[in-house]
Structure 1
Amino acid sequence: MPLDYSVIEIFTNEEARCQGKSLGTAVVDYIRGLKIAARCIVTRGIGGVFENGEVATQSVLVLSYNMPLKIEIILPSAALDVVLPEVEQMVCEGIVAVRTMRVQSHKTERRLLPRHFRVKDVMTPSPKSVTPSTSLKEVAELLMSSIFTGAPVVDKDNRPIGIITQGDLIYRAGMPVRLGLLAVSDQGKVTSVLKSLAPKQTREAMTSPAVSISEDAPATEAVNLMVQKQVKRLPVVDKHGKLSGMLSRLDIFRTVMQESPNWETFRGQNIQVNNLRVVADIMRRDTVAVPAETPVEEVLRVIDKNDIQRVAVVDQDKTFLGLISDRDLLTAFTDYHPGIWDYFISWMPFSERGRAKKGLNLHLRLRTAAEVMRTKLITVREDTPIEDAIRLMTEKALKRLPVLDADGKFKGMISRDALLRSGFGYPESNIRLLSESGDQ
């Protein structure tokens, strides 16, 4: 079925300018920013003549630097009335023409992260950093006040030599709880934890050497590196090897939100989009769920046994009701029984902690999952496009999203890590092969 398209043709020259840019660059930037199903081509002629009598030539005797330029914009005719007036205003020198085009088919490859993006286009510049001698108390305070859970460690010349993360503070420095839990604890507990970290220095807990990347590297290369090395963030260095930025998954997701068009709209225009993926393609289906009547004591055991931070709550038909996180449990029970803190800072299994505190144990046994779960949650369906999931998780600062089917039944969860593996760089199978071969 033929498609109704139009072509805007601009005949101009290399000296033509628009807002300080060459006209070709300005038009390309404008079309890219529209995020519509349009293509733009800029070609440079090898010779020509203009109506004012000026001749453009590549002759070695009369060398011209003002060669003719042709800019073509191919777009669905429905968008012509929006684009043409803007283009006409941009062209201060040249001819603008329009013609119709009979398009038999339009096919495009979906990309979450365009190839032309470099790490420096995506990263967070001038990040806060620490040195090997920085106290872990300062590190914890820095991370608690940040949306990130890791910071680069630099030497005296500002070169990255490692990274210090929440995981390092927990497993190497003995911090008893996650930073998120610490942040919602009472000030006395926070002061106690920070005091225990104060005598220790970053060099005692940091991960070294740093896995870093050049600011001029393709952004897709950085994504592949993050997936292969299983890291959430990368220090970025300039040409001298000095820290110039930090690249996190959030930086990548924000770029996707800004740059990706609405692929579903493209499909509605009879444009064939290849490699479209939905949430069902990447979600985890082995996520733990508990019935609504489950005692909170059992929920704690489930969290502890499976080394997870949250569980879904469902009814007898597997319909999704809510979500319980370790933070929910801590905040829900602190007012009832201060001993709940010990559940999160002790290395004993939950069952042993319960026997040690019979009063709290009874209290937890009498309360059910339905009483402490959160119900005002953002969820997605299995057929939700990945781009929409990225947008939701980025805008709402979510690390995971529950996935439901059309009937509201709980099917699984998606995470930031799963999104990162969903098609930014190498196909996931290639990443697996690289990792298995040791080529990292």
Structure 2
Amino acid sequence: MTMHALVVRDVMTKTPVTVSPDLGYKQIADLLIEFGVSAVPVVGGDRRVLGVVSEADLLHKVEYNGADVHAGLFERRRTRRAKEKATGETAAELMTSPAVTVPATATLTAAARLMEQHDVKRLPVVDDEGNLAGIVSRRDLLRRYLRTDEDIRGDVIDGVLLGVLWLDPVEVEVAVAGGHVTLTGKVDRRSTAQIAARLVRALDGVVGLTDELEWGFDDTTLQHRYTFDV
């Protein structure tokens, strides 16, 4: 077993519901309800993501139903855009564009930050050519924490202790409960203990770490000096 840090393509939905730019309002609403999603990518014939239509985009029509949707000169840009969408009938007219997308190779942390920054619940995922590869939601990002304690312990022992640090697992005791890892035992150097702790914290599924490792020699205080003869 080797350590494997999850990226977006590992947790995304690979066959997302999409709509074409000319699909009508009612059909889009029906799709959102049928598949239980809050937004769908608008995709062109070349699989390029043109935008995203969300429940919020569709609700503008309800919000301004029967009201004057003429955009005033001094209205906020957001209000003007909402009124424009209220008159929209197709995905191209209703969508939010350009879409916020995330590369399939991005880390889950990067995807989560994008969602937080743009206040969205899901992101279209694109490949190296910029074509739609899938869609990732907030729920998908939580999958990294759904790994079993046994799997996490295996990654710590085989991936960190044996695979990276070449440590005898007998020297370090690894306990995992609810995703929380506890390391006990003794290693030769303090820097080794620090590296072990850093690598374990970065493993998928780890929610916390209790580091009780001891060391025989503190090599972190050494200062290396080099003298050159001129």
TM-score range, shorter chain: 0.5 to 0.7
For residues 260-293 of structure 1, the C-alpha deviation after alignment (integer angstroms, 9 at most, x for no partner) is 75545756x676x99xxxxxxxxxxxxxxxxxxx
User: Contact conserved, 1:119 with 1:214, CA < 8 A, in 2?
Assistant: yes
Shift of 1:216: 1.5
Q: What is the rounded CA distance, in whole Å, between the counterparts of 1:148 and 1:209 in structure 2?
A: 20
Shift of 1:258: 3.0
What is the match of residue 29 of structure 2? 140
1:170 equivalent to 2:59? Answer yes
1:149 equivalent to 2:38? Answer yes
Shift of 1:174: 2.1
For residues 184-237 of structure 1, the C-alpha deviation after alignment (integer angstroms, 9 at most, x for no partner) is xxxxxxxxxxxxx9x821122211110001112222211111111111111001
What is the match of residue 147 of structure 2? 258
For residues 309-339 of structure 1, the C-alpha deviation after alignment (integer angstroms, 9 at most, x for no partner) is xxxxxxxxxxxxxxxxxxxxxxxxxxxxxxx
What does residue range 249-288 of structure 1 map to in structure 2 within 5 Å?
249-258=138-147, 261=152, 263-264=177-178, 266=180
Q: 1:210 to 1:229 in 2, by over 3 A?
A: same
Q: What is the rounded CA distance, in whole Å, between the counterparts of 1:225 and 1:215 in structure 2?
A: 13
Q: 1:175 to 1:244 in 2, by over 3 A?
A: farther
Q: 2:50 aligns with which of 156, 161, 181?
A: 161
Shift of 1:147: 2.9
1:208 equivalent to 2:97? Answer yes
What is the match of residue 352 of structure 1? none
Return the letter of the residue paired with 1:164. Answer: V
Return the letter of the residue paired with 1:205. Answer: L
Q: What is the rounded CA distance, in whole Å, between the counterparts of 1:212 and 1:231 in structure 2?
A: 11
SS of match in other structure, 1:258: coil
SS of match in other structure, 2:5: coil
Return the letter of the residue paired with 1:248. Answer: S
Cα RMSD for the two superposed structures: 3.4
- TM-score with structure 2 length normalisation? 0.53
User: Contact conserved, 2:145 with 2:179, CA < 8 A, in 1?
Assistant: no
* Sequence identity percentage: 35
* Count, aligned residues: 144
Unmatched 5+ stretches in structure 2 = 65-85, 153-175, 185-196, 199-204, 209-230
Q: What is the rounded CA distance, in whole Å, between the counterparts of 2:42 and 2:98 in structure 1?
A: 10
Unmatched 5+ stretches in structure 1 = 1-27, 33-114, 177-196, 275-386, 388-421, 424-440
For residues 122-173 of structure 1, the C-alpha deviation after alignment (integer angstroms, 9 at most, x for no partner) is 11102110122111111111110123211001122111111011111112x3
User: Contact conserved, 1:169 with 1:175, CA < 8 A, in 2?
Assistant: no
What does residue range 8-407 of structure 1 map to in structure 2 within 5 Å?
28-29=1-2, 116-171=5-60, 173-174=61-62, 200-258=89-147, 261=152, 263-264=177-178, 266=180
Q: 1:121 to 1:264 in 2, by over 3 A?
A: closer
Q: What is the rounded CA distance, in whole Å, between the counterparts of 1:156 and 1:128 in structure 2?
A: 15
Q: What is the rounded CA distance, in whole Å, between the counterparts of 2:46 and 2:180 in structure 1?
A: 49
- TM-score with structure 1 length normalisation? 0.29
Q: 1:148 to 1:254 in 2, by over 3 A?
A: farther
Shift of 1:240: 1.3
Q: 1:259 to 1:225 in 2, by over 3 A?
A: farther
Return the letter of the residue paired with 1:174. Answer: V
